[in-house]
Structure 1
């Protein structure tokens, strides 16, 4: 950490300190709250010194400022739901986030996380070192050496024509070596190619650059132009939230322990066939949707779906990162309680029916560092174990 700070000029650090001290705390992820937005906030819930939840009037939420969403009529709930989804797939985990202990958002409002205090200072410093974005670099766009811009993967991929995907993802808190790195477990729903790539992504991440700490947090992300522009959570207009219960970017309060209790949650992305909107669900709760008008290729169907883990390898100290994927343990070390898992993995076909993946491809960019193994017994539907430690005797 000291070496990193020394690489940044002290005048810059002093300027940041003065800026943070003298600037009001009305920041949303480094963005000041405008007077218009202030009038849209119905209630504010203070969680701690570094996190605040603002309950926005659902009809005045910031996402509706997107040029494609002027005069947009909010869809309050999906008009259709996927077929053949079994309730057992959701498990028994009750989704709680830390802010729930301090209050609730009223009816017809949506919770949006505001980052304040010291996290904004560290974010300014990190922006000097880290390019954007990191989430969602697509496995099928990797360079011949299997790594694109230091991103590494352990995923399965299914090709076809789909209306969505769902999986139960094991929740862990992997070690992330430096603040410019990340560890992600997620679902990608994609269409198009490198020149016209559309994606919607959902899962959990440990990512200090985006969230200001090393907690395991819920995230979603999208792009409609091959990541030339992309947006995580509510950082920019696009995602229309409808649920008052779950806040994007907030942490999971229940995490798995090694050889102990296992926690997981079901993440879903699916298209409403009646209007084309792409809904995101967490543990059966419909959070909101990406309007079809945001996309070029995903305005129709997805042409592939991917499930698995991703890390960013910053090569701190000139070697491979020790950033962990999943639980930080390889599938070869053991299954339940040791390596992380995806279970009840399903894709939604063009008839909106949930099906197990067929002819799924496995892609592991660097098996000495992270790996993936499909469970052929299918005790918990289509499932696989994945993860790894990063730097080790074979992973340099």
Structure 2
């Protein structure tokens, strides 16, 4: 009969045989988890796992258990600026250390300080395009504020797109964030459906101050559904080159080179799924059956910036939006911009937004100005952003 020590030894041997250390350039068969084909270690202590596309975690969603992956969009909106993908060749830092093979998708591994309460079910992540006072266990004074500088349009839409200027804004404290994004929404505020895409700096979520690509969704007003990126099941990824939640290698510099990238969200005419594209690369899609209000169309689209203001020092935060400079300070190379802002109308044709409403929470802190001087070269666009706390922003 085996002794207790013998059993422990056999258990350790079994674990060592089935454990897999995957490093760039080496793939070792994993008996326990064959979903991960390869792992790439990045110098910033990040780890990228290359998952078999047919075994990606999102397919564990109860609505996706028998789902057939759509490997490419079946349609593309007419007139959308599909050949206008920003000022640089898109790269993310992890690309320097290896790439995921075809048939896999890159997933950024959760860090050791990962906190699932940050990702959904908690009102601090209410990203709806309205000023919001929210009581939160993470709030220093019992209340914090989401502040915005956006343009909004209402109607019936099948998508949206914009070229968004990339910056690395400074956030004042650990829990504050700065975001520049597109919102595609439908439904009443208390049960809103939304799909969001853009870039963000959010130390508490990512562990650093890098500018990172993100997506977000909810189908119940941010209450119990949805999340960032691939943290919860829902988004079906097909790209092997773009990793959600990973940082861009280049951002803009004040009075220097400007970097931007084109972000697109649009509904597939055949499947009805909502596709997300970055720089013309189809990253993946949200199946239409995840949503009730967004199952057929969007009724509002917004573009612009958002920050959270925790008032940790008894005054307005110094967290920057965009470049941290107002549109009035000079525009190009100074303030952040959105160019080639378009909606996809009910005829599946891209066009300039009409009847635009500017929503600025506090123009002394962050502002927005339509750019009416560069339409011929930049399409419909605007400058936005600001420094936060200053003599007039208290």
Q: Measured at CA, do residues 40 and 247 of structure 1 come closer, stay the same or move farther in structure 2, by a change above 3 Å?
A: same
Q: Measured at CA, do residues 261 and 307 of structure 1 come closer, stay the same or move farther in structure 2, by a change above 3 Å?
A: same
Cα-Cα RMSD = 2.2
Q: Distance in 2 between matches of 1:109 and 1:133?
A: 33
Q: Measured at CA, do residues 49 and 186 of structure 1 come closer, stay the same or move farther in structure 2, by a change above 3 Å?
A: closer
- C-alpha offsets along residues 257-292 of structure 1, whole Å, 9 cap, x if unaligned? 000000000000000011110000000000000000
Shift of 1:54: 0.3
Q: Distance in 1 between matches of 2:219 and 2:87?
A: 35
Alignment coverage as a number of residue pairs:
355
Shift of 1:115: 3.4
Q: Distance in 2 between matches of 1:36 and 1:172?
A: 43
What stretches of structure 2 of length at least 5 have no aligned partner?
1-18, 22-29, 134-142
Shift of 1:107: 1.0
Instruction: Decide which moves more: 186-195 or 89-98.
Output: 89-98
Answer yes or no: is 1:68 the counterpart of 2:84.
no
Q: 1:367 maps to which residue?
A: 363
Q: 1:395 maps to which residue?
A: 393
What stretches of structure 1 of length at least 5 have no aligned partner?
1-23, 27-34
Q: 1:283 maps to which residue?
A: 279
Answer yes or no: is 1:132 the counterpart of 2:122.
yes
Q: 1:38 maps to which residue?
A: 33
Q: Distance in 1 between matches of 2:273 and 2:387?
A: 38
Choose between structure 1 and 2: higher helix proportion: 1
Answer yes or no: is 1:90 the counterpart of 2:80.
no
Q: Distance in 2 between matches of 1:37 and 1:311?
A: 42
Q: Structure 1 residue runs of 4+, over 6 Å off?
A: none
Contact 1:37 1:62 (C-alpha < 8 Å) held by counterparts: no
Q: 2:383 maps to which residue?
A: 385
Q: Distance in 2 between matches of 1:177 and 1:106?
A: 39
Answer yes or no: is 1:314 the counterpart of 2:310.
yes
Contact 2:36 2:51 (C-alpha < 8 Å) held by counterparts: yes
Structure 2-normalised TM-score?
0.86
Structure 1-normalised TM-score?
0.85
Q: Distance in 1 between matches of 2:296 and 2:153?
A: 17
